[in-house]
A = this chain, B = another copy of it.
Amino acid sequence: MDLWLKENLDRLTTALVPCSNCPAMSSANTVRQINLPGQKAVTDVLEKIIGVLFPGCHGHQPVSHETCAAVLHETLEKIALSLRDQIRRVMVYQCLHDACTNCGSCETESKTAALKLLEALPGIRDMLQDDIQAAYEGDPAARSMMEVVMSYPGLYAVAVHRVAHALYQLKVPLIPRVMSEYAHSRTGIDIHPGAVIGPGFFIDHGTGVVIGETCVIGRRVKLYQGVTLGALSFAKDEEGRLVKGVKRHPDVEDNVVIYAGATILGGETVIGRGAVIGGNVWLTHSVPAGAKVYNQQPQPVIRIEG
């Protein structure tokens, strides 16, 4: 090794060993006994789950009709084993973090949770059929269902969300959020795993969409890029700390359409069934069923020179 490096490496290492001067469980995943799964470990399992929901669609190799069942069997086993191990680790971590006393056995609960997720997959796949249908019917540019499955970011984000939401409902810490942020990274669509979203959901283009943790969205809802379903303000406790877990994001009823760049805020806000919200609309209060809501778009000034 070059001298310039040799003489410095030990010093540099010592300066960086996190265990010495880092608050434990803050930025180093090196805690004794309970190493959390790394981000990539979680997203690998997620990709496998997506693979069984859409066999042969997202990977490198197609899956032949004949081998489909065998491939699924093998993949499900891999998913079950690593998911179970990851869930156990995050449960132990969260117990430690919350200094909780009545956690029950992370051993048993992680098995149950992993199994329940696998059992939820057929139902998730059926909901996704409606999502695919909604995208195909909702976008004039869609040429086939398979184009939707293979290329639409909105469908990918929703597929990941339905998986992450199932884990969120099973009270699995950390993993759902890592999954949803992976979808956010790939699609620009930021759906918190806590959001409740009905079947036939379609997000077109999608970049910049934000859907908050306590949103409840009905059936056959359609969103465009840049739509925010967010919080109006945060409740704080007497010491000025944010209160977590309050309802702070809107509800959107069946068959609503929300056009690009609209911002809808607040836990009290309800968008009534069948309403249409126009581009760039800013809403902090409820609107009734069937309402058409649009901005008087500012008339731009047009100057023609010469």
Contact = CB atoms under 8 A, between A and B. Distances in A.
13 contacts: A4-B111, A5-B81, A29-B57, A30-B65, A36-B56, A40-B59, A40-B60, A137-B241, A208-B226, A261-B263, A278-B300, A287-B302, A293-B303
Q: Work out how many copies of this chain go into the complex.
A: 3
Contact of A94 (B144, B284, B287): B144
A15 B212 CA distance: 32
A300 to B, nearest CB: 5
A-side interface size class: 35 or more
Nearest to A213: B141
A300 B282 contact: yes
Interface in A233-266: 234-235, 241-246, 248, 260-261, 263
Contacts of A142: 244
B8 A118 contact: yes
Contacts of A230: 260
B56 A30 contact: yes
A36 B64 CA distance: 10
A19 to B, nearest CB: 6
Interface of A: 1-2, 4-5, 8-10, 12-19, 22-23, 25-32, 35-42, 44, 52-65, 68-69, 72-73, 76-77, 80-81, 84, 93-94, 97, 111, 115, 118-119, 121-122, 125, 128-129, 132, 137-147, 149-153, 173-174, 177-178, 180-181, 184-188, 190, 192, 194, 205, 207-208, 210, 212-213, 225-226, 228, 230-231, 234-235, 241-246, 248, 260-261, 263, 278-284, 287-288, 290-298, 300-306
A12 B76 contact: yes
B177 A151 contact: yes
Contacts of A30: 55-56, 62-65, 68
A289 to B, nearest CB: 8
A246 B56 CA distance: 32
A295 B295 CA distance: 14
